[in-house]
Each structure stands twice: as structure tokens, then as C-alpha cells.
Structure 1
Amino acid sequence: MASSQAAQRKASTSARWKRETRVFFNAYVSGANYVGTYDPEMMAAPGGFPVVMAGKIIGAIGCAGGTGDQDALICQAGAETVK
């Protein structure tokens, strides 16, 4: 149950902020904890990717349940199939 909710939040964060969620994870790791104040629903973990078609974001995909790197790899592959 928690993984499905995490995947939805990753997708939502990626779509709203128009970037991979790893960007926010990396900010936290580097000590920029203020990014958490941007959005209370933000998921700052790898595994959220925007889905882009013809240069426009049409949605996002989020994966959870593996390691962050595993989630990101699966989501990136899914997002790239739309191109």
C-alpha cells in the first residue's frame, strides 16, 4: 500500500515540477533541506519522471517498491517509450 502511494506522489511531484524527482533527492542529500518547503506533497526520492511528447510534458510516471535507483531505471524506461 505504501509503495503505491509513494509512486503516485513521485509522479505528481515530477509532473508539477516538470523534472525528475531525483533532483529534489539530490538537493536534500547535499544539505539543501529548504526544498521541502516548496510543496508539502513533494516526494524527494528517485523514481519520478515527466512524460514528454513533442517537447511538452503530458504527464508523469512514478515507481516505488525497489531501491531508488531501481525505481528510477524502470520509470525512465517507461517515460522514454512515449517519445
Structure 2
Amino acid sequence: MTTHVTAVTDGATRVFTWEEGSRIEVRNLGGEIVIEANAAGLKTLAGHLLTLAQDDTPDGAHLRLEENNGLEEGSVGLVLERCDDE
């Protein structure tokens, strides 16, 4: 079953979709971050990024993923944020 989460940022409503069976783990290895995901998890992350890239998405819109809230147990937190500043 695909899961949809609706988020409102600065008055803009966005729907973030999790593919069925998605698994995403984020690890901090000191000098680098590893995002490990199965195919469904990669599609989920790609969808989240495309949602944040929509033309009417405001600067600063973000999605926070944490252990047991989109990420596997033992993961470090991950924030996907739109920033149009150069």
C-alpha cells in the first residue's frame, strides 16, 4: 500500500508519497553520509525531491525524516530542504 503524507509549508500544500515496501537507512560514517535504500526507497526519495522541486514550492520548504518516521531504525536524521539562494 502506498502511503501519502500531506505537509503545509508557508501556505503551500505538498503531498509526499512513500512507495509500498520502501526501506531507507541513513548512516553517518564520519567523513561521509550513506543513504542506503531498496528500489522502492529510492523511488520514494526521488519523489520527495521532485515534490520539493515543484515551481510553486516556497524557498525553505522541507521534509524531515527520522528513525521510525520514514527511516529505518538506527538511522540518523535527514532533512530535504529547498533553498533557492545562491
Larger Cα Rg: Structure 1 or Structure 2? Answer: 2
TM-score by length of 2: 0.28
Q: Which has the higher contact order (CA 8 A, sep 6+)?
A: 1
- Which has more helix, going by share of residues? 1
- Which has more strand, going by share of residues? 2
TM-score by length of 1: 0.29
